[in-house]
């Protein structure tokens, strides 16, 4: 049976850094709440239903999320984790999950190793926190900080090894030796090792084993978004009109139905490449006219994607039958399984029913 793992964003409580950068009390909900439709038929704002505009410092909220996920076939949350040469950020919700033992729901971690900039707010050159890699002392300190999570009975494993993802492995110098070092530290700490997975963003398939990884998961977004992002680093926005399918002042818009066939990667021989489902995407609450919209995504179309992913993983050993979902709660990117007022629990029900059918 497929092991459904949903990426989980902890950006739903105030922190001093966001207060400084964006204003007192800023959270992900700040952008969600002010979102507006930017073209005819544009579905915005997305208004949360069952869980409301929650605060992740509240234990009852985290318990309700876990109960909702478990009831619909999600096995675990994959919490985004941030480490900037020893500096932590947005760590409070997961630290409380770890310390309290609640909710009793499996989890794993993904190191979101990206420099934070103001790119989505029109300040592409403004560095908020720089991601650096100062060396092996920092790697050891990072591993030591992760070890309590790895040892937790709820931590998700593959063949007994804690599952750990790295969002942008191409940025890490000497990545093969880094992963070897962490595996050595894991064994020295009494663990059987680590199951290390690279998040893939490029168009071409690549063998994660060449970099020392056990597997890869591809997070799909159309290639044009990467092209636009690269251009933001090189030239002012006013010179980028030729990159847009829509005229200036509107976001880049793709039909979800038309790109659906590209969203599930094909199974590659001799490589552990895990599918990643994308129920929806619209980051205009963060980016406005600079955003990207997968227009008219529906639970019915999502069902097709789920079916393709389950077909791809059919026959995999149970421990390795991983299917990731981007994401549980990235509301400002219009990318969530959590219920909203328009679709309710429909996306979750698609997963629940598909898991049930596959098991029967």
Please, what is the Cα angle at 246 between 243 and 251, to 5 degrees?
A: 85
- Kindly give, in sequence order, each residue whose CB lies less than 8 Å from that of residue 261, ignoring residues fewer than 6 positions away: none
Class of domain 3-359: alpha beta
Exposed, middle or buried: residue 283 (CB in 10 Å: 0-12, 13-18, 19+)?
Answer: buried
Q: What is the pLDDT of residues 143-178, one digit of tens each?
A: 999 999 999 999 999 999 999 999 999 899 999 999
* Average pLDDT score over residue span 101-118: 95
Mean pLDDT, the chain, integer: 90
How confident is the model at residue 239, as a pLDDT?
A: 36
How confident is the model at residue 111, as a pLDDT?
A: 98
SS3 state of residue 165: strand
**Distance in angstroms (rounded) separating the CA atoms of residues 171 and 181:** 17
Q: In terms of pLDDT, which residue wins out, 13 or 245?
A: 13
Q: Please, which pLDDT band fits residue 246 given cuts at 50, 70 and 90? A: very low
Q: In terms of pLDDT, which residue wins out, 268 or 318?
A: 318
How confident is the model at residue 185, as a pLDDT?
A: 98
Residue 232, pLDDT above cutoff 50: no
Residue 240, pLDDT above cutoff 70: no
> Containing H/E element for 171?
none
Delimit the domains of the chain by residue range.
Answer: 3-359
Q: What is the pLDDT of residues 295-309, one digit of tens each?
A: 999 999 999 999 999
**Distance in angstroms (rounded) separating the CA atoms of residues 78 and 80:** 6
How confident is the model at residue 223, as a pLDDT?
A: 54
Asked if residues 346 and 299 have their Cβ atoms less than 8 Å apart, the reply is: yes
Q: Of the candidates 68, 108, 78, 2, which has an alpha carbon nearest to the alpha carbon of residue 323? A: 2
Residue 224, pLDDT above cutoff 60: no
SS3 state of residue 218: strand
Q: What is the pLDDT of residues 38-55, one digit of tens each?
A: 999 999 999 999 999 999
Q: What is the pLDDT of residues 174-222, one digit of tens each?
A: 999 999 999 999 999 999 999 999 998 866 667 888 899 999 998 888 6
Distances (CA, A) of 171 to 113, 130, 192: 8, 12, 27
How confident is the model at residue 122, as a pLDDT?
A: 53
């Amino acid at each position: 049976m497929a092991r459904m793992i949903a990426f989980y964003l902890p950006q739903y409580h105030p922190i001093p850094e966001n207060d400084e950068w964006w204003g007192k009390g800023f959270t992900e909900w700040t952008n969600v709440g002010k979102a507006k439709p930017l073209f005819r038929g544009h579905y915005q704002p997305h208004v949360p239903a069952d869980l409301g505009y929650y605060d992740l410092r509240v234990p009852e909220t985290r318990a309700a999320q876990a109960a909702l996920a478990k009831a619909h076939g999600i096995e675990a949350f994959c919490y985004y984790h941030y480490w900037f040469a020893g500096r932590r950020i947005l760590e409070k919700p997961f630290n409380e999950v770890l310390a309290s033992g609640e909710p009793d729901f499996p989890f794993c971690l993904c190191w979101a190793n990206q420099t934070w900039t103001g790119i989505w707010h029109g300040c592409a050159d403004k560095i908020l926190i720089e991601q650096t890699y100062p060396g092996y002392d920092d790697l050891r300190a990072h591993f030591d900080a992760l070890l309590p999570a790895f040892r937790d009975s709820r931590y998700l494993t593959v063949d007994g090894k804690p599952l750990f993802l790295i969002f942008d492995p191409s940025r890490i110098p000497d990545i093969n030796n880094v992963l070897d070092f962490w595996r050595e530290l894991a064994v020295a700490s009494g663990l059987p090792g680590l199951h290390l997975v690279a998040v893939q963003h490029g168009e071409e398939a690549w063998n994660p084993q060449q970099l020392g990884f056990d597997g890869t998961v591809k997070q799909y977004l159309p290639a044009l978004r990467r092209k636009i992002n690269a251009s933001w680093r090189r030239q002012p926005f006013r010179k980028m009109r030729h990159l847009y399918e829509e005229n200036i002042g509107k976001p880049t818009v793709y039909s979800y139905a038309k790109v659906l066939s590209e969203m599930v990667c094909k199974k590659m021989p001799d490589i552990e490449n895990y599918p990643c489902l994308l129920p929806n995407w619209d980051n205009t609450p963060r980016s406005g006219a600079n955003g990207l919209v997968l227009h008219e995504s529906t639970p019915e179309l999502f069902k097709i994607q789920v079916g393709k992913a389950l077909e791809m993983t059919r026959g995999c050993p149970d421990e390795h039958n991983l299917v990731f979902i981007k994401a549980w709660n990235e509301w400002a990117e219009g990318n969530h399984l959590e219920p909203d007022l328009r679709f309710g629990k429909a996306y979750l029900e698609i997963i629940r029913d598909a898991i049930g059918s596959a098991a029967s």
